Amino acid sequence: MVTRGLWNLRVDGKWYRSFHPPRGRIASPDTPATLDRIRKILSETNLAAWECVPFPSPLHIDLDYVYNIDKDLGLLTVVQWTGDEGVLSRMRREATLTRLANPSLHTIEAALEVVGDEFDQENDEASPPTSETLTINMRNPTPLNELQLLFLTDFIFLWKFYLDDMSSWRNTSLLFRTLAIGILRIAAWDFEVRIDTDTTDIPLTFSSVPSWKAPSTDIFWFHGFLITLHGTTDEVGEAISKAQAFLNETPRRGQVTQVILMSLSHIRLVEISSECVRCSSAIPIIVNTSAMYPSPGCRVLSSVLSSYAWKDFSSHGESWRVNLPSEIFDMVLETVLPRDLVTFAQASLEVEKWYYSSVPQLDGLAVRGFNLSIPCCGKRDRPDTEGISCSTCYTWYHAMCVGLGPEACSRTYVCSDCEQHRRCDMMEMGGIYDVYRKHRSRPSCKVTIDGLDKTLQLRTSKPARRRPELWLYGRDSVPAGEIKYSVFFGGMFSGLAYGFEGE
């Protein structure tokens, strides 16, 4: 039986990859051929046949095995699927490279030992010492938030096999920083949208690697916020101390600094001033259901990074000398290019309010359904509709839909799902793919484009016209799947590509 897989190799701190295109034919661990290949790799000094990659490729559903040879640590790791088609799970086994050199060994099976994938998630109840509690006030969702939540959910779905490999979450590795900045950029609508692109390398294939530029450090400024990345096993107090030390060496931008502490499992919002530190509770961002429904952390990030909900107005000191009529102000801003408008919005609170409340940023497209941002009814009758967000999952509900009066919107509210303890914070190794495999339903967004009702849908394969092998099945039987929009981070493809389905 033909099995599929790939090889990851680490030498002198750099990762390399090898696979047999197009589907990665490979021998299983119980064959002599695999041991022979490993011994040959260990004796090789020329890496010209290997592809240099920023981080090792994880086990993918299109693969049966992934072999990781780490010459730096002297370790072989084999990751594979185990179980039947109905219940698949990852199995990780390891062996030292010195043991594989034993001439009496005929296959690697006898040398491999099963290792667990235990993962210590951040304690939700943990709070840093000597800090005050920070309460988050969510803003009414906008059409932009609906698109952001769709993009964030699809982004996690596309890169689920990297996110499901939770062993990479223990520290601020390059993979961690790459995925984190991708999430942050979508939450801030800080990316390029290419329309009707004909790029041949989209969408993703099983061998795709996240290739956009990541921050070189785990603490950096982003849209006026101080982002502090930390491993999931790090103490919250240590992360706050790291942010404080950074601020002590950097000119303070205001009396209060807004800090986002971010691991791949949780975020915390922190305000640091000379008087005190205020910190929110842990808000889950990557959970088992993140590829199907927006997580609490994605909701909070999209609200915080694309609205003025968490801004220090007192220290901004902005004043406008010319009081333009709103109609003229709108006309001026509508002539600014999207990328320039992002920069303009960062410099002006007034422009930011206008930008994030009115611009969907996809030419000719108007959002018509709000199932992700307002799931109670999926509608948004008017911008000032009274509503309230759940204090646990941060989902927004119309006050009328949940039976509350306008006066109740100022109190703490817990939605029925959270009252029934339906978990929105559970994350397990391989959990994202497992939830997707069971449900298969994927989110989309109802829109109007050129006066026609459509559904904005993620594209997970290239259009038929760019896949000549599909001619074998007959062109008429293959849906075109045209790509209308594609999302890029600094010129590098994010994995997100969209088209329309007719209503």
> Mean pLDDT in the chain?
81
Q: How confident is the model at residue 420 (pLDDT cuts 50, 70, 90)?
A: confident
Q: What is the residue whose two structure tokens read 């030292």?
A: 96
Measured in degrees and rounded to the nearest 5, phi and psi for residue 435 equal -65, -40
d(CA 181, CA 183): 5
Find the mean pLDDT for residues 145-152.
Answer: 94
3-state class (DSSP) for residue 132: strand
Of 143-157, 181-195, 221-235, 463-477, which range is least confident?
A: 463-477
| SS3 track for 449-488 | ECCEEEEEEECCCCCHHHCHHHHHHCHHHCCCCCCCEEEE
Residue 316 and residue 295 in contact, taking contact as beta carbons nearer than 8 Å: no
Strands 387-389 and 396-398 come out as: antiparallel
How many Cα atoms occupy the beta-carbon half-sphere of 354 within 13 Å? 20
Average pLDDT over every residue of 303-319: 64
- What DSSP assignment string belongs to 351-400? HHHHHHHH---STTEEE---TTT-TTTS----TT--EEE-TTT--EEETT
Q: How far apart are CA 282 and CA 285, in angstroms?
A: 9
Tokens standing for residue 359: 């611009």
How far is it, in rounded angstroms, from Cα 342 to Cα 335? 13
- 8 Å CB contact between 396 and 140: yes
Could you tell me which residue, 254 or 269, shows the higher pLDDT? 269
- Strand arrangement, sheet containing 445-449: 192-195, 485-489, 492-502, 452-458, 445-449, 365-367
Q: Is the peptide bond before 203 cis (omega within 30 degrees of 0)?
A: yes
Q: What percent of the chain has pLDDT over 70?
A: 76
Q: Which of 307, 460, 453 is nearest to 369 (CA)?
A: 453
Contact 435, 288 (CB under 8 A): yes
* DSSP of 263-323: -SSEEEEEEE-SS-EEEPPPEE-S-TTTTTS--HHHHHHHHHHTSSTT--HHHH----SS-
DSSP-based three-state secondary structure for 94:
strand
Q: For residue 349, what pLDDT is reported?
A: 64
pTM score, whole prediction: 0.85
Model confidence at 477: pLDDT above 80: no
What's residue 124's pLDDT? 44
Q: What is the pLDDT of residue 379?
A: 82
Instruction: Tell me the per-residue pLDDT of 359-389, one tens digit each, with 9 for 90 and over.
Output: 555 777 888 889 999 998 888 766 567 888 8
Q: Is 18 exposed, middle or buried (0-12, 13-18, 19+ CB in 10 A)?
A: middle
Q: What is the pLDDT of residue 473?
A: 46
pLDDT tens across 44-70, in order? Answer: 889 999 999 998 988 887 789 999 999
| Mean pLDDT, residues 249-255 taken together | 70
Smallest Cα–Cα separation from 64: which of 141, 13, 6?
Answer: 6
Q: Distance between CA atoms of 378 and 205, rounded to whole angstroms? A: 33
CA distance 445 to 486: 15
pLDDT at position 210 is 93
> Above pLDDT 90, what percent of the chain?
38
Q: Which of 224, 218, 217 is nearest to 271 (CA)?
A: 224
Above 90 in pLDDT, residue 410? no
Of 190-194, 209-213, 452-456, 467-471, minimum mean pLDDT range: 467-471
Task: Name the one residue in this structure whose structure tokens are 């910190």.
Answer: 279
113-115 and 89-96 beta bridge pairing: antiparallel
Token pair of 33 as six digits: 């051929």
Q: Distance between CA atoms of 227 and 290, rounded to whole angstroms?
A: 21
Tokens representing residue 210 in the block: 């996240």
Query: How far apart are alpha carbons 311 and 298 in whole angstroms?
Result: 18
The three-class DSSP label of residue 40 is: helix
pLDDT higher for 199 or 208? 208
Instruction: Output the pLDDT for position 345.
Output: 65
Mean pLDDT score, 279-301: 93
Would strands 219-222 and 75-82 be described as parallel, antiparallel, or unpaired? unpaired
Judge whether residue 341 has pLDDT over 70. Answer: no
Joined tokens for residue 56: 């090792």
| Rounded CA separation 346/488 (Å) | 20
One DSSP character per residue, 113-177 reads EEE-----PPPTT---TT-EEPPP-PPPP-HHHHHHHHHHHHHHHHTHHHHH-GGGGSS--HHHH
State the Cα–Cα distance between residues 209 and 496, nearest whole angstrom.
13
Q: How confident is the model at residue 470 (pLDDT cuts 50, 70, 90)?
A: very low
Show the tokens assigned to 131: 């800090």
Per-residue model confidence (pLDDT) at position 146: 92
Query: Which of helix, strand or coil describes residue 272?
Result: strand
* Contact indicator for 260, 302 with CB cutoff of 8 Å: no
Phi, psi of 357, rounded to the nearest 5 degrees: -100, -10
State whether the Cα torsion 149-152-155-159 is positive or negative: negative
